[in-house]
Structure 1
Amino acid sequence: MIHPLAPSRLRPLPRLAFLLRRGWQRLRRPLTLGVRVLVRDETGAVLLVRHTYIEGWHLPGGAVDRGETLGQGALRELREEVGLEASAARLLSVHARFGPWGHDHVALFEAGPWQGKPTVQAFEIEEARFFPLEALPADLSPATGRRLRERFKGEPVSERW
């Protein structure tokens, strides 16, 4: 579902906020923790989101808040970004991501039983949609593609995001 206020291209204000936040995090917390959540529907399709500030389709997720466990962060991000309530999230893997905007460790979770209908909840999400594994979007983020191949095609799990 496309957010009614979102144009089909990146919006400058969320992009600027994203870059400013990343810069501040790099100064304040050089290492951050992030989570991504793998959600499948009854047909086996995977839920992907498009952000307003970066290109491509990604698994839902984000930063873990202070005082929050990785699992709590995964469930919160799922609720905040796409409006789904999951009863639990199972840890699948942990990956390091080192880049010019900071250093992260990203934990990949698989959502347990969930309820709701994916709807755009956050200002940062432009669209959320389920895709069959055999019909993933052409502009799937490289890291998301790697995680899906590791999980469903038996590729070795990489330590790098």
Structure 2
Amino acid sequence: MTTWRARIEPFTRPLFFAVVRATRGMTLGVRGVAVDAEGRVLLVKHTYLHGWWLPGGGVERGQTAEDALIAEMREEAGVLVEGRPVLVSVHSNERFFRGDHVLLYRIDRFTLTDRTAHGEIADIGWFDPSALPDDTHRATRDRLSEIFGGADRAVSW
């Protein structure tokens, strides 16, 4: 199912990036790998992007990376992080957006509640890292392969 947001995203993305580039020298994003008791990982489907992704988002001015991750996990997936998430890796996202970096965190302690963001996330799901849906985004597959499959950690997202 393609939503109107997914259809207009290729046209609105350049405008969004132009505004961000004009107001920020570098951008920073966070993604979370929440792992449940059965070893499954949480993935989300956005209303404006194709496929399954790790939940996360951008770090705003005045916000720490951990605070951004905790907020995004609650908003997108209804995950209440308990304790501090563990920083797994840092990646350059230059191929997607000049000056962008992504911090990847692992979350093993959490409780589930209702999502607070509506309209951004179409679906959430828990998946065995070795049996991901076919339409899982390449970067998500790569990061999970690094964490669970022993692949070398890439410096690029």
Structure 2 length-normalised TM? 0.87
Kindly indicate whether the alpha-carbon contact (under 8 Å) linking 2:27 and 2:101 is maintained by their aligned counterparts in 1.
yes
For the residue of structure 2 that corresponds to 1:43, the secondary structure is coil
Structure 1 residue aligned with 2:61, among 63, 66, 87? 66
CA separation of 1:69/1:123 partners in 2, compared to 1, >3 Å: closer, same or farther? same
Root mean square deviation of aligned Cα = 2.1
- Deviation of the 1:125 alpha carbon: 1.1
Residue 150 (structure 1) aligned with residue 109 (structure 2) = no
**Number of aligned residue pairs:** 154
CA shift at 1:40, angstroms?
A: 1.2
Which AA in structure 1 matches 2:2? R
Structure 2 partner of 1:28:
23
Matches of 1:131 and 1:61 in 2, distance apart?
17
Quote the Cα distance in structure 2 between the aligned partners of 1:140 and 1:118. 23
Counterpart pick for 2:43 among 17, 40, 48: 48
Q: 2:105 aligns with which of 109, 129, 132?
A: 109
Contact map agreement 2:77 2:124 (CA 8 A) in 1: yes
- Distance change >3 Å, CA 118–CA 103, structure 1 → 2: farther
Q: 1:158 to 1:100 in 2, by over 3 A?
A: closer
- What amino acid sits opposite 2:102 in the alignment? V
Normalising by the residue count of structure 1, what TM-score does the alignment of the two structures yield?
0.85
- Is the 1:25–1:102 Cα contact (8 Å) retained in structure 2? no
SS in 2 for 1:133: coil
Q: Within 2, Cα distance between the matches of 1:122 and 1:89?
A: 24
Query: Aligned in 2, Cα 1:140/1:128: closer, same or farther, shift over 3 Å?
Result: same
In the TM superposition, what is the alpha-carbon distance from 1:85 to its structure 2 partner?
0.5
What's 1:139 paired with? 135
Q: Which runs of 5+ in 1 are unaligned?
A: 1-7
- Whole-angstrom distance in 1 between the partners of 2:22 and 2:95: 14
Given that residues 82 and 122 in structure 1 are in contact (C-alpha distance below 8 angstroms), is that contact kept between their aligned partners in structure 2? no
- Give SS of 1:98's match: coil
Of 29-38 and 108-117, the range deviating more from structure 2: 108-117
Contact 1:35 1:106 in 2 (8 A): yes
Residues 120 and 127 in structure 1, CA contact (< 8 A), matched pair in contact too = no
Other-structure match for 1:12 = 5
**2:86 maps to which of 72, 83, 90:** 90
Query: Residue in 2 aligned with 1:4?
Result: none
